[in-house]
A and B are shown apart, each in its own frame.
Chain A
Amino acid sequence: MKALREFIKERNIRRRARACYQCGSCVGGCPVGRWREDFNPRRIVEMIVRDELEELVRSDIIWLCTACFTCLDRCPQKIEVTELITQLKNAAARIGNVPEGERKKARFIAEEGRSGKPVGKILKQRAALELPDLGQDTEMTELKELMNILYREKTLHQECSSSDEEEQVKD
């Protein structure tokens, strides 16, 4: 967990959470928290302040944040709650704690440089609507090269593809 500690420090996660006075306005307006009581942004921030980060980074809970920024917008102490949770997700990704759906999406972007590709049916519809032809799709070699560089040194990519980690997530 040493790498995690360093990561937490590097991203200033604890310092950015400290001014929280635990009013709970993030909870009252959270679109997820109203259905999933186990997702409680206030508690997440307090856990960051109290240095109970390991538990958070290993949990599935943090991945429930939709990043709608409602908590951040309404926070009376201007705590960047959404941003803090995003950093926790980043840390979780580094140890391979990623929901399968997210993992697939990320890998698709990393490999294709896009988050979706039009299938034949869509291409036909485009033609019918007289939209520009996407036939000669760019190879995006530069972007793919960049993605390779970005993920080469990252534990993310390695651990994402290692099978034992995947099993751990399925559990």
Chain B
Amino acid sequence: MDEWSYNLYTGCLIRSRFPHVEKSARVVFRRLGVDLTEAADVGCCPEPVGMRSMDEEAWLTVAAHNMSVLASEGRPVMTLCNGCYSTFRETEHLLSGNRHHRKVVNGHLASIGREYVPGLEVEHFARFLYEKIGPRRLKELVVSRLPGLKVAFHAGCHLVRPSDLLAFDDPENPTKIEELLRSLGAEVVDYPRKSLCCGFTIVGVDPDLSLKMGYEKLKNMKSSGAEAVVVVCPSCLQQFDMNQRQMERKFEDKLELPVFFLTELIALALGESPDSLGLALHRTDALSLVQALWLNGDTSAEGISQVHAAQAGE
């Protein structure tokens, strides 16, 4: 078996709002035998839409600073957020391809005695799960399948776009992560205009429109038969989970669509209990769906209890 070790870079949003997401990610990676260490606390990546819009030069400089600090730690970085992933990849691209950018950035960094160090290897956790673990291995590890759970997957723009740069999955119809979901036993539903943005980034500009964009996506998912939504980015999670009640009020429509971070579903399928994952922390009730699944589903109860016993033994 390959040995993987990464510096975990959780990013501001997960760190400050979604402890349950961090928990599930740590659990999944431990179970997959990935050695996770704590990345230096360099602060915000920085966030690739707001800060870049305000001052691209500052955004690039801070990102270059962070990447240099992380590079000096000598381990590849694992991000849990499309935003951090996008910032690091774009920065690397801009600084490696453009002498002018490098000069400007190094000029700023020199005043605090630093220089941009290229070569930081950055991995998005979902990409890692697909490319390094893969649906087949994941299927072997599953002890409690999620039979027939109908999920709709939302990739989030910055996992797949700009596609020239990231070259991960077809941005128009990303299906790689869906393969992972199927390997857990879930049923993936297709829905119209799958590649549309969740709208989170403009919440500070036009909050009503932001909600409308999120609502439209959720409605498309629901009317296509989805019982739950799966995301791989905390921004999309915030939009779909935390803002869902607001959307329901505003558009007078009961959505009640639980929103899972990919690692949460994997952790459940690997036999983790909903309690240990903090599933109750979801703003839109996710617990009842999982419990219902457990009660009615044909998941192997023995498998789960075995895992729990094993964990207790540790």
A67 touches B199 (CB 8 A): no
A116 touches B157 (CB 8 A): no
| New A-B pairs, 9, CB < 8 Å, besides A36-B206, A147-B58 | A66-B157, A66-B201, A70-B157, A73-B162, A101-B204, A115-B47, A130-B23, A134-B15, A146-B62
A70 touches B55 (CB 8 A): no
Asked if B278 CB lies within 8 Å of chain A CBs, one says yes
Q: Quick one: closest B residue to A60, CB to CB? A: B205
B12 touches A116 (CB 8 A): yes
B49 touches A129 (CB 8 A): no
Asked if B301 CB lies within 8 Å of chain A CBs, one says no
A109 touches B209 (CB 8 A): no
Asked if A87 CB lies within 8 Å of chain B CBs, one says yes
A131 touches B19 (CB 8 A): yes
Q: Which of A98, A115, A125, A140 makes the CB contact (< 8 A) with B13?
A: A115
A146 touches B65 (CB 8 A): yes
B209 touches A36 (CB 8 A): yes
Chain B nearest Cβ from A85, distance in angstroms: 8
A68 touches B15 (CB 8 A): no
Q: Which of B46, B54, B62 makes the CB contact (< 8 A) with A98?
A: B54
A146 touches B112 (CB 8 A): yes
Interfacial chain B residues near A156, Cβ < 8 Å: 54-55
Stretch of B36-44, B70-78, B138-146, B251-259 contacting A (4+ beta carbons < 8 Å): B36-44
Interfacial chain A residues near B296, Cβ < 8 Å: none
| Interface hits, B8-55 → A, CB 8 Å | 12-13, 15-17, 19-20, 22-23, 26, 38, 41-44, 46-55
Asked if B203 CB lies within 8 Å of chain A CBs, one says yes
Bound: A69/B161 CA distance, A: 6
Interfacial chain A residues near B200, Cβ < 8 Å: 66
Interfacial chain A residues near B55, Cβ < 8 Å: 90, 93, 106, 150-151, 154, 156
Interfacial chain B residues near A69, Cβ < 8 Å: 157-158, 161-162
Interfacial chain B residues near A51, Cβ < 8 Å: none
| Interface hits, A96-128 → B, CB 8 Å | 98-102, 104-106, 109, 112-119, 122, 125-126, 128
Interfacial chain A residues near B20, Cβ < 8 Å: 125, 129
Asked if B163 CB lies within 8 Å of chain A CBs, one says yes
Asked if A37 CB lies within 8 Å of chain B CBs, one says no
Asked if B219 CB lies within 8 Å of chain A CBs, one says no
1/0 per residue A54-98: CB within 8 Å of B? 000000100111111110110000000000001101100100001
Asked if B127 CB lies within 8 Å of chain A CBs, one says no
For chain B, the bracket of interface size reads 35 or more
Interfacial chain A residues near B51, Cβ < 8 Å: 105-106, 109, 115
Interfacial chain B residues near A131, Cβ < 8 Å: 19, 22-23, 26
10 chain-A/chain-B pairs, Cβ below 8 angstroms: A70-B197, A73-B171, A90-B54, A93-B55, A99-B205, A113-B43, A113-B44, A114-B12, A143-B62, A147-B58
Bound: A20/B213 CA distance, A: 28
Asked if A167 CB lies within 8 Å of chain B CBs, one says no
A149 touches B201 (CB 8 A): no
Bound: A115/B13 CA distance, A: 7
Bound: A126/B65 CA distance, A: 28
Interfacial chain B residues near A163, Cβ < 8 Å: none
Contact of A143 with B43 at beta-carbon distance under 8 Å, contacts A86-B56, A99-B204, A109-B51 already known: yes
A101 touches B203 (CB 8 A): yes
Bound: A143/B53 CA distance, A: 19
Interfacial chain B residues near A122, Cβ < 8 Å: 16-17, 19
Bound: A132/B39 CA distance, A: 12
Chain A nearest Cβ from B137, distance in angstroms: 26
Interfacial chain A residues near B52, Cβ < 8 Å: 67, 86
Bound: A115/B50 CA distance, A: 10
A67 touches B112 (CB 8 A): no
B53 touches A129 (CB 8 A): no
Asked if B183 CB lies within 8 Å of chain A CBs, one says no
Chain A nearest Cβ from B16, distance in angstroms: 4
Bound: A130/B276 CA distance, A: 9
Chain B nearest Cβ from A125, distance in angstroms: 5
Bound: A15/B17 CA distance, A: 42
Interfacial chain A residues near B196, Cβ < 8 Å: 31, 68, 70
Q: Which of B57, B66, B163, B276 makes the CB contact (< 8 A) with A73?
A: B163
Contact of A114 with B62 at beta-carbon distance under 8 Å, contacts A69-B162, A105-B50, A149-B112 already known: no
Bound: A109/B44 CA distance, A: 7
Chain B nearest Cβ from A135, distance in angstroms: 12
